[in-house]
Amino acid sequence: MAAGSTYTPLATQTLGSAAASVTFSSISGAYTDLIVIANIAQSAGSNSLRFRLNGDTGSNYSATYLRGDGSTASSGRDSSVSSGYACDTPGNTSFNLMCIFHIMNYSNTTTYKTTLGRGSNAAIETDAVVSLWRNTAAVTSVQFALGSTFPSNNIAAGSTFTLYGIAAA
Amino acid sequence: MANTYTLIASNTLSSSASSVTFSSIAATYTDLIIKASARCSTTDHGVNVSFNGAATYDRINIYGNGSSAGSDVVADLLVYGGMNNSSYTANTFSNFEMYAPNYTSSSYKSMSIDTTTENNATANNFTAMVAGLRSVTSAITSITLTPETGSFVQYSTFYLYGIKNS
């Protein structure tokens, strides 16, 4: 890999108190892809970690997921929803959920944006999920919240989110 | 240069080995990644992953073998499909990647593991995604990978990387 050009930490947030959402903003277009590593708990309930790009609250997201819950492997999807899935796997009140979230080719202005999420919670589920944002704008901000109502519950204090930039050259 | 995705240690086997251990892992980084390309001397394809010598974990996986998919849950980190085995086509090795965030934190340790074995044959192919959890609050200082049975064969490779968030 090119020295200093990839897997560069752009920003990190460790929640000092529970929060409805976490946002990375003013993301530069200097990289090829983005990766967010999240290790989180939630204040109550059990919800998937969802995302919105550039603050878009419209029904411009869709997703297809593959998941295993310890007894069954299954797949499903959502069309025209108001947020994508960073990962389908739900969280809980322990710090069991980790999510590896990729935004590919995020700074181009000609194609819709595709994301890939990989969720792991050994108490509940493991999954891979692809999401699509039907917008050609460069991604300059990403917001995370729990559940389809964005948020359905708060993200707990102590949860961590780190944004990395991946450069092709 | 950001001090991240740094190679901490590697091991390319010049002869077979019953296990591979990365020890004395410093608390310098935020997350750990292991990338392995492995093959087993027997007909099993599972890999045990152990942190700080412990054997008890929570684990959920989802897997596919070319004809069906399933999911199970057990109390260890035996990762099926972690490596090709002696019944596979010669010279084929698996891909294995593990991501462990916040390995020095005082919270329980979550991890994500992806594995693939491919064989250009109708049998013995396997791909899996695994969620693991070790319910301890101490920092991870050693990781050991052990074949389900037998040994890792010569030319198996193991790399440990550190990811730092600043």
- Selected residue of A1, A39, A67 to mutate for chain B interface (largest B Cβ count, 10 A): A39
Asked if residue A33 belongs to a domain, the reply is yes
* Total domain count, chain B: 1
pLDDT at B1: 44
To the nearest whole percent, how much of chain B has pLDDT over 70? 98
Asked if residue A3 belongs to a domain, the reply is no
* Total domain count, chain A: 1
Asked if residue B125 belongs to a domain, the reply is yes
CA distance A19 to chain B (A): 19
* Structural domain harbouring B34: 6-163
Asked if residue B25 belongs to a domain, the reply is yes
Q: Looking at the partner chain, which of A7, A12, A122 has a beta carbon nearest the beta carbon of B60?
A: A122
Asked if residue B28 belongs to a domain, the reply is yes
End-to-end CA distance of chain B: 11
Asked if residue B154 belongs to a domain, the reply is yes
pLDDT at A168: 79
- Domain containing residue A88: CATH number: 2.60.120
Q: Looking at the partner chain, which of B1, B60, B72 has a beta carbon nearest the beta carbon of A3?
A: B1
| Residue B162 in contact with partner chain A when CB distance is under 8 A | no
Asked if residue A81 belongs to a domain, the reply is yes
Asked if residue A83 belongs to a domain, the reply is yes
* Structural domain harbouring A61: 8-166
Contact across the interface for B132 and A95, Cβ inside 8 Å? no
Asked if residue A2 belongs to a domain, the reply is no
Three-class HEC string of chain A: CCCCCCCEEEEEEECCCCECEEEECCCCCCCCEEEEEEEECECCCCCEEEEEECCCCCCCEEEEEEEECCCCEEEEEEEEECCEEEEEEECCCCCCEEEEEEECCCCCCCCCEEEEEEEEECCCEEEEEEEEECCCCCCCCEEEEECCCCCCECECCCCEEEEEEECCC
pLDDT at B3: 60
Closest to A143 in 3D by CA, of A53, A57, A65, A79: A53
Cβ neighbours of B81 in A, within 8 Å: none
Local structure of residue B26 (DSSP, 8 states): -
pLDDT at B2: 54
CA distance B144 to chain A (A): 20
Q: Predicted confidence band at B136 (pLDDT cuts at 50, 70, 90)?
A: confident
Does the structure show a pLDDT above 80 at B20?
yes
ipTM of the complex model: 0.90
Asked if residue B153 belongs to a domain, the reply is yes
Asked if residue A74 belongs to a domain, the reply is yes
Between chain A and chain B, the number of residue pairs with CB atoms below 8 A apart is 123
- Domain containing residue B23: CATH number: 2.60.120
Residue spans of chain A under pLDDT 50 = 1-4
Question: What distance in Å separates the CA atoms of residue B40 and residue B151, rounded to the nearest whole number?
Answer: 6
Place of tokens 């899996």: B128
- pLDDT (tens digit, 9 = 90+) per residue, B106-130? 988 999 999 998 888 877 778 999 9
pLDDT at B76: 82
Asked if residue A43 belongs to a domain, the reply is yes
Asked if residue B1 belongs to a domain, the reply is no
pLDDT at B157: 97
- pLDDT (tens digit, 9 = 90+) per residue, A63-96? 999 999 999 999 999 999 999 999 999 999 998 8
pTM metric for this prediction: 0.93
